[in-house]
């Protein structure tokens, strides 16, 4: 069996029938991490204990423990370092949390463990998931396996790169404005952001609470469906998690698109999009038609405002969410020679100035400003109103189409350092992805082609709230029309 | 309520050196739920340092608040007792500020859409009544405690996350006495509802008072000053008294009153500045995205309404109207719910309301040192006291003997009938038996009989006393009187 090409279902079956042991499988991935992680910088913490945990699973690999319901029995996974892992450092790629070890698991992590999944380690990201290139990480940039001079994308750059380089059977990312889908597009993996409320946010370091969702990054659509089944569901620890039943997303995935209406957003037409991206998108559209889909043009006028709305709302929430990192209770505290002579303001400002990076500070300042008295109505409140209108427009358009197809990014992966000093250009990179977060919709990125320079290019699917099954069906059919995701990266 | 509303006399605003005072009060009521407002940590007061602190209370990353439904129930209950409108949809908001005792860097509170609004209560002062408006009452979480010791500040987060209901009055009070009375009335109500133990010293109830003064005849309210850190009703009165004088002094000296927060120091009986408006924080309130709006249905409100106990003012009116008790008795008996409950049971058992009231206000209060919390374990149950009163009313024992029986009940923990039987204390109501004693007493005091017959009728009491002594107090006094009058005529 070629581990790199095996699906999660195949791996699971191989383990349960003891064609391969949990130890062997974990060891293959761990070895590869030791070989190439220094090149990519995808993992920022490797769980060396995974081999012991795998051995224990092997000792307990029987019909009782490896039941059909345990979808990830013995399967080694990587987790974005934005999710709390009990007893394993969780840093959000920030200096301010560099020594933080949570005494609890995020619900997503707990669900993975309940399904028998193993943790290979914690994956790199932009600091507090604030960024589109993984360049704001306190632990340094994560490189794109397809071109080491380019970014893996962000914020879930580590998750995308690790997945693309087969440093895990599947990985978990988080997506606040495109942080799963954009790096997935840059690295040629499938990345899925669920409907807001589908997956519990408990234990996920909060960036923007009304937008954050965790989701899978995988080799295939089917794998994404399996992972979604594992991590979804209402959680008593998260009031915003939905009571909607979790479907068997990976069962009977569609192979054609008969009767499916695919919407394309008029406002997304732009000459600022890289021609190779447009070409790939058009190819996907043509293939969808061949599979029986009907293509209709839809209009969502408010989508033009989605970037400013996103940065206003996300930054406002972040300014409040990150207030807890103050050096008082846990995490980084600046070194003070004589604490008793330091006033409280100095204590806070020095700790936070040293503990946070520039991009995080920029967003805290922006958010603090938006929420300040005198500006609240003009910025935060107005942004929330426009967000509501945007959601209404999506709801309206989903009456006439099943899914929406669009590019994921305006261009393939850009060069490391190219945009880091130009935050505005960096922010505009999120144009295709932020609207789904604002409207709470599910969205996913699907590998669909390569540029002339052999850089991956993806397409994006979006669906109405809680229509992940439909979205995965369309993605599965489309996946059959391309061999993009079968392309293997070779790291020299 | 109707009786109170009917009283038309209202309280006149007192004038202080030509000035009027305007006072509004914010009361933080700690709701006595078993667990905290947003997690399952215990709320016990005497736990060890940081014992009731889960990752959520410590504000660790990724933890999320989940609303304790009891807090909503208690808040709705209190809102109803304060005659508030209950919002069908209320919102939690974040109040952002940095302080070490605030683990998340924000406090979850309610801002634009609080759960209770537009209520009122009546307060009573020197037989007069005043309506005080309740602007709002909202749910929020308490902060932890900082203990400054030497060069260190130690933090205890046990209190962080304990549910509070902040009750905000209108600026409707015009004297320190009214303010204290308002605070007492709120305490009485929350204790009646059993949503708060009302313990000011432990901080279960905390009063912040807004005070301003203006010259008589001036329409516009003066600059208000907020007084914090007041932990008794007496200090509410003292702090406001001091503050009114301080502000009038300033105006008279043509000095400006600074809008500020001042702390009351009970040892020095003065207030001192804590922070001025210039250092006032911008709390950057916004709806908390981690919590859904609280949606309250009509049926939920109705279900809670059914659990509302009779409130102090209603109860007082009932005791005056139905039980014909004097206002003084009704006020004393209803001041604390435990006492009122005890009274009602005794009254139900014996049917003699005034007697029940007298026994409770004197003998019972003395035995429990006026501490209503002691009633729950009090040896003499309402049924026992009721039985005792019944025995007096049916002339089985005299009032005097009853006092003796009451003392024996406390000592022996037995019912009055058992004690009367064991000690042979039954009143002598048998005419024949008593006549014999009367004859004996008269025979032994022939001289006095002569004097009585000559007109010294005062001696009747002497004969009664002698007969009582001879019967160890068990003779029925009415019968003794009757027999004596017959024999001496």
pLDDT in tens, A452-466: 999 999 999 999 999
Strand order across the beta sheet in which A118-123 lies: A43-46, A118-123, A76-80, A170-175, A213-218, A190-193, A443-450, A456-463, A403-407, A261-265, A294-298
State the pTM of this model. Answer: 0.89
Please check whether residue A443 is in contact with residue A470, taking contact to mean a CB–CB distance below 8 angstroms. Answer: no
- Chain A CB contacts of B61 below 8 Å: 84, 90, 92, 97, 100, 102, 205-206, 324
- Chain B CB contacts of A368 below 8 Å: 284
Residue B485's pLDDT band, with cuts at 50, 70 and 90, is confident
Please check whether residue B197 is in contact with residue B32, taking contact to mean a CB–CB distance below 8 angstroms. Answer: yes
Domain boundaries defined on chain B: 7-303, 310-423, 431-488
Average pLDDT in chain A: 96
b/e string for B123-137 if b means 16 or more Cβ within 10 A?
A: bbeeeebbebbbbbb
Please check whether residue B214 is in contact with residue B224, taking contact to mean a CB–CB distance below 8 angstroms. Answer: no
CB spacing of B66 vs A339 below 8 angstroms:
no
Cis check: omega of the bond before A155, within 30 degrees of 0? yes
Count of other CB atoms within 10 angstroms of residue A393: 18
B54–chain A Cβ distance below 8 A for any pair: no
- CA separation, residue B255 to residues B21, B97, B222, B246 (Å): 17, 32, 13, 11
Average pLDDT in chain B: 90
According to CATH, what is the number of the domain B431-488?
Answer: 1.10.10.410
Residue B279's pLDDT band, with cuts at 50, 70 and 90, is low
A13 is catalytic: no
Tokens 């790629």 map to which residue?
A93
The answer to whether the complex's ipTM is over 0.90 is yes
Query: How far is residue A116's CA from residue A217's CA, in Å, rounded to a whole number?
Result: 18
* Predicted local distance difference test score (pLDDT) of residue A492: 57
| B1: pLDDT strictly greater than 60 | no
Looking at A237-296, list the stretches that DSSP marks H as alpha helix, in order from N- to C-terminal side: 275-290
Residue B467's pLDDT band, with cuts at 50, 70 and 90, is confident
Q: State mean pLDDT over B394-420.
A: 88
| B430: pLDDT strictly greater than 70 | yes
A132 to chain B, closest Cα gap in Å: 22
Angle between helices B416-423 and B382-393 (to 10 degrees): 50
Chosen from B39, B61, B285 to mutate, greatest number of chain A CBs within 10 A: B61
Query: How far is residue A395's CA from residue A441's CA, in Å, rounded to a whole number?
Result: 10
CB spacing of B152 vs A210 below 8 angstroms:
no
| B261: pLDDT strictly greater than 80 | yes
* Predicted local distance difference test score (pLDDT) of residue A402: 98
Residues 6+ apart with CB under 8 A from B443: none
| B277: pLDDT strictly greater than 70 | no
The DSSP string of A103-126 is: SS--HHHHHHHHTT-EEEEEE--S
* Predicted local distance difference test score (pLDDT) of residue B10: 66
**Beta strand residue intervals within B293-342, DSSP E:** 294-295
Q: Which of B61, B106, B150 sits opposite A320 (nearest CB)?
A: B106
Please check whether residue A77 is in contact with residue A171, taking contact to mean a CB–CB distance below 8 angstroms. Answer: yes
- Chain B residue with the nearest C-alpha to that of A207: B62
* Predicted local distance difference test score (pLDDT) of residue A157: 98
The DSSP string of B204-265 is: SEEEEEEEEEEETT--S----EEEEEE-SHHHHHHHHHHHHHHHHHHHHTTPPPPPEEEEEE
Per residue in B136-182, pLDDT (tens digit) is: 999 999 999 998 887 788 999 999 999 999 999 999 999 999 999 99
A155 is catalytic: yes
Q: State mean pLDDT over B56-80.
A: 98
A316 is catalytic: no
Per residue in B325-357, pLDDT (tens digit) is: 998 899 889 988 899 999 999 999 999 999 999
Which of A232, A233, A234, A290 lies closest to A257 in space, CA to CA? A290
| B473: pLDDT strictly greater than 80 | no
Residues 6+ apart with CB under 8 A from B457: none
CB burial of residue B220 (10 Å; 0-12, 13-18, 19+)? exposed
Per residue in A120-150, pLDDT (tens digit) is: 999 999 999 999 999 999 999 999 999 999 9
* Predicted local distance difference test score (pLDDT) of residue A1: 77
B13 to chain A, closest Cα gap in Å: 37
Query: How far is residue A218's CA from residue B147's CA, in Å, rounded to a whole number?
Result: 51
Query: How far is residue A207's CA from residue A94's CA, in Å, rounded to a whole number?
Result: 13
CB spacing of B155 vs A348 below 8 angstroms:
no
A344–chain B Cβ distance below 8 A for any pair: yes
Count Cα neighbours of B439 within 13 Å in the Cβ-side half-sphere: 6
Domain boundaries defined on chain A: 8-256+468-486
Which of A136, A192, A161 lies closest to A38 in space, CA to CA? A161
Ranges in chain A, pLDDT < 50: none
| B425: pLDDT strictly greater than 80 | no
| B2: pLDDT strictly greater than 70 | no
Q: State mean pLDDT over B271-283.
A: 79
For residue A144, the cross-strand partners are: A147
Whether domain A8-256+468-486 has CATH 3.90.1300.10: the reply is: yes
| B482: pLDDT strictly greater than 80 | yes
Residue B444's pLDDT band, with cuts at 50, 70 and 90, is confident
Which of A221, A151, A213 lies closest to A178 in space, CA to CA? A213
* Predicted local distance difference test score (pLDDT) of residue B8: 43
B67–chain A Cβ distance below 8 A for any pair: yes
Which of A242, A238, A218 lies closest to A228 in space, CA to CA? A218
Q: Which of A16, A80, A110, A111 is catalytic?
A: A80
């Amino acid at each position: 069996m070629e581990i790199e090409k095996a699906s999660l279902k195949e791996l699971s079956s191989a383990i349960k029938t003891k064609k391969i042991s949990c130890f062997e499988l974990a060891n293959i991935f761990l070895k590869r991490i030791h070989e190439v992680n220094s090149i990519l910088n995808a993992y920022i913490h490797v769980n060396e204990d995974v081999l012991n945990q795998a051995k224990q699973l092997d000792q307990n690999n029987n019909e009782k423990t490896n039941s059909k319901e345990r979808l990830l029995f013995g399967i080694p996974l990587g987790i974005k370092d934005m999710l709390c892992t009990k007893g394993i450092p969780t840093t959000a790629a920030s200096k301010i949390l560099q020594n933080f070890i949570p005494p609890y698991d995020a619900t997503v992590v707990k669900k993975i463990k309940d399904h028998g999944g193993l943790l290979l380690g914690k994956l790199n990201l932009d600091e507090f998931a604030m960024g589109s290139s993984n360049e704001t990480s306190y632990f340094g940039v994560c490189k794109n396996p397809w071109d080491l001079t380019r970014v893996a994308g962000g914020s879930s750059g580590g998750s995308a790169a690790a997945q693309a380089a087969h440093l895990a059977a599947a990985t978990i990312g988080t997506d606040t404005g495109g942080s799963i889908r954009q790096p997935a597009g840059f690295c040629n993996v499938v990345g899925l952001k669920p409907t807001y409320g589908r997956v519990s946010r408990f234990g996920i370091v909060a960036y923007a609470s009304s937008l954050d969702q965790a989701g899978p990054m995988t080799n295939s659509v089917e794998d994404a469906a399996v992972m979604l089944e594992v991590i979804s569901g209402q959680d008593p620890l998260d009031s915003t998690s939905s009571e909607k039943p979790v479907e068997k997303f990976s069962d009977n995935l569609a192979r054609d698109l008969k009767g499916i209406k695919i919407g394309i957003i008029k406002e997304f037409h732009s000459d600022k999009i890289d021609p190779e991206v447009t070409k790939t998108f058009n190819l996907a559209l043509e293939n969808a038609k061949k599979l029986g889909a009907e293509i209709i043009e839809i209009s969502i006028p408010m989508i033009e405002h989605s970037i400013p709305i996103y940065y206003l709302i996300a930054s406002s929430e972040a300014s409040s969410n990150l207030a807890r990192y103050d050096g008082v209770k846990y995490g980084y505290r600046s070194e003070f020679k004589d604490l008793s002579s330091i006033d409280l303001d100095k204590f806070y400002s020095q700790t936070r100035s040293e503990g946070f990076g520039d991009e995080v500070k920029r967003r805290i300042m922006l958010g603090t400003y938006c929420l300040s008295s005198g500006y609240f109505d003009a910025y935060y409140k107005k942004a929330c109103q426009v967000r509501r209108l945007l959601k209404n427009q999506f709801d309206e358009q989903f009456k006439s189409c099943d899914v929406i197809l669009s590019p994921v990014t305006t261009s393939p992966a850009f060069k490391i350092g190219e945009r880091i000093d130009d935050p505005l250009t960096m922010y505009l990179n999120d144009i295709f992805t932020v609207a789904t977060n604002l409207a709470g919709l599910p969205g996913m990125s699907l590998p669909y082609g390569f540029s002339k320079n052999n850089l991956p290019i993806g397409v994006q699917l979006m669906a109405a709230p809680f229509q992940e099954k439909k979205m995965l069906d369309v993605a599965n059919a489309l996946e059959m029309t391309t061999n993009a995701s079968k392309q293997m990266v070779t790291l020299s | 309520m109707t009786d109170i509303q009917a009283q038309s006399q209202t309280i006149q605003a007192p004038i202080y050196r030509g000035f009027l005072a305007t006072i509004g009060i914010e009361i933080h009521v700690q709701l006595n739920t078993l667990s905290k407002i947003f997690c399952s940590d215990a709320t016990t007061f005497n736990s060890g340092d940081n014992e009731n602190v889960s990752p959520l209370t410590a504000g660790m990353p990724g933890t999320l608040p989940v609303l304790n439904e009891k807090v909503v129930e208690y808040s709705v209950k209190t809102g109803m007792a304060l005659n508030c409108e209950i919002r069908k949809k209320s919102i939690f908001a974040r109040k952002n500020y940095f302080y070490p005792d605030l683990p998340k860097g924000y406090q979850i509170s309610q801002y634009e859409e609080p759960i209770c609004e537009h209520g009122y209560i009546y307060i009573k002062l020197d037989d007069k009544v005043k309506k005080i408006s309740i602007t709002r009452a909202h749910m929020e979480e308490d902060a932890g405690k900082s203990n400054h010791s030497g060069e260190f500040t130690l933090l205890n987060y046990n209190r962080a996350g304990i549910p509070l209901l902040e009750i905000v009055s209108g600026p409707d009070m015009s004297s320190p006495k009214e303010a204290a009375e308002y605070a007492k009335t709120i305490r009485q109500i929350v204790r009646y509802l059993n949503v708060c133990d009302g313990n000011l010293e432990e901080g279960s109830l905390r009063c912040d008072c807004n005070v301003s003064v203006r010259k008589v005849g001036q329409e516009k309210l003066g600059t208000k000053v907020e007084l914090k850190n007041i932990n008794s009703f007496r200090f509410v009165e003292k702090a406001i008294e001091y503050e009114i004088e301080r502000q009038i002094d300033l105006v008279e000296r043509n000095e400006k009153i600074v809008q500020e927060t001042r702390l009351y120091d009970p040892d020095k009986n003065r207030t001192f500045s804590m922070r001025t408006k210039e250092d006032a924080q911008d709390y950057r309130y916004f709806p908390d995205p981690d919590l859904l709006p609280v949606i309250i249905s009509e049926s939920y409100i109705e279900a809670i309404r059914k659990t509302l106990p009779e409130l102090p003012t209603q109860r007082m009116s009932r005791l005056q109207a139905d039980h014909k008790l004097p206002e003084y008795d009704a006020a004393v008996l209803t001041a604390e719910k435990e006492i009122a409950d005890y009274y009602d049971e005794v009254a139900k058992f014996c049917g003699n309301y005034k007697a029940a009231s007298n026994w409770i206000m004197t003998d019972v209060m003395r035995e429990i040192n006026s501490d209503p919390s002691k009633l729950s374990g009090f040896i003499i149950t309402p049924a026992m006291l009721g039985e005792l009163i019944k025995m007096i009313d049916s002339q089985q024992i005299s009032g005097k003997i009853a006092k003796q029986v009451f003392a024996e009940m406390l000592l022996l923990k037995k019912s009055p009938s058992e004690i009367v039987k064991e000690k042979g204390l039954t009143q002598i109501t048998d005419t024949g038996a008593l006549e014999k004693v009367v004859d004996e007493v008269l025979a032994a005091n022939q001289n006095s009989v002569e004097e009585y017959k000559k007109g010294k009728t005062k001696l009747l009491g002497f004969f009664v006393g002698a007969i009582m002594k001879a019967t160890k107090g068990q003779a029925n006094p009415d019968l003794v009187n009757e027999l004596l009058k017959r024999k001496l005529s």
